[in-house]
A and B are shown apart, each in its own frame.
Chain A
Amino acid sequence: AQSVTQLDSHVSVSEGTPVLLRCNYSSSYSPSLFWYVQHPNKGLQLLLKYTSAATLVKGINGFEAEFKKSETSFHLTKPSAHMSDAAEYFCVVSEVDSNYQLIWGAGTKLIIKP
């Protein structure tokens, strides 16, 4: 059975410094992996997706994530944080034996300090 673990419930960085949000997954097959972002009182927005093509995936707003099968990780990074990045970020896995249902991590709240 698949599962997703987001290792940090909160991450706090200063504006202009790098962001790292960690995600580990458990999957029986080749998974599809996603990162979604949710700004306060807003809906969920797809940030980026991995679907067995390039292992380094670029998303919106300067975010990217690298799929590392040997480490079962899909960490989200951004070189320089902006105040507008403050939000909740969810790592999500989907695979064939779950009929492609999305399995959600618990979320990481990203706090940006001025």
Chain B
Amino acid sequence: DTGVSQNPRHKITKRGQNVTFRCDPISEHNRLYWYRQTLGQGPEFLTYFQNEAQLEKSRLLSDRFSAERPKGSFSTLEIQRTEQGDSAMYLCASSFRRGGLNEQYFGPGTRLTVT
């Protein structure tokens, strides 16, 4: 059983640089989510995909952030011109919604440090 995987696990970058993270969901899951989590807080929703369609984006997702899910499989989250405030754990989750249940399974996260 391969759960949700994320790469890289850690990323240190200088302010102003672009970074890209990858998420591979559980293979039969049609929904994929991105969250951001800062120390001592719960996850904050960023965006989600159903298959390849990006259905919702949070107001937290500024125009420096872009996410894609080509072919409805893996997803990438890119942050352009990183700022120190972008330092956080970026979490990916996937689910296969049945009826009213939206049980999400999370990857280990990518910890971003912007210096």
Q: Say yes or no: A45 contacts B42, CB within 8 Å.
A: no
Chain A residues contacting B106 (CB-CB under 8 Å) are: 36, 43-45
Q: Select one of A43, A49, A101, A105 contacting B103, CB under 8 A.
A: A49
Chain B residues contacting A45 (CB-CB under 8 Å) are: 106
Q: Say yes or no: A32 contacts B100, CB within 8 Å.
A: yes
The tally of residues in B whose CB lies under 8 Å from a CB in A reads: 21
Q: Select one of A30, A36, A52, A102 contacting B45, CB under 8 A.
A: A102
Given the interface contacts A51-B101, A100-B102, does A43 sit within 8 Å of B42 by beta carbon? no
List the A residue with the shortest CB-CB distance to B3: A43
B interface majority secondary structure = loop
Given the interface contacts A43-B109, A44-B91, does A49 sit within 8 Å of B41 by beta carbon? no
A94 interface contact, C-beta 8 A = yes
Per-position binary interface string of chain A over residues 59-80, scored 1 when its CB falls under 8 Å from any chain B CB and 0 otherwise: 0000000000000000000000
Q: Say yes or no: B91 contacts A101, CB within 8 Å.
A: no
Q: Say yes or no: A32 contacts B109, CB within 8 Å.
A: no
Chain A residues contacting B40 (CB-CB under 8 Å) are: 107
> Which residues on A are within 8 Å of B, measured CB to CB?
30, 32, 34, 36, 42-46, 49, 51-52, 90, 94-96, 99-102, 104-107
Interface CB pairs A-B, < 8 A, 24: A34-B103, A36-B106, A42-B108, A43-B107, A43-B108, A43-B109, A44-B91, A44-B93, A44-B106, A46-B103, A46-B104, A46-B105, A51-B100, A52-B100, A90-B43, A96-B100, A100-B100, A100-B102, A102-B104, A104-B43, A106-B41, A107-B40, A107-B41, A107-B42
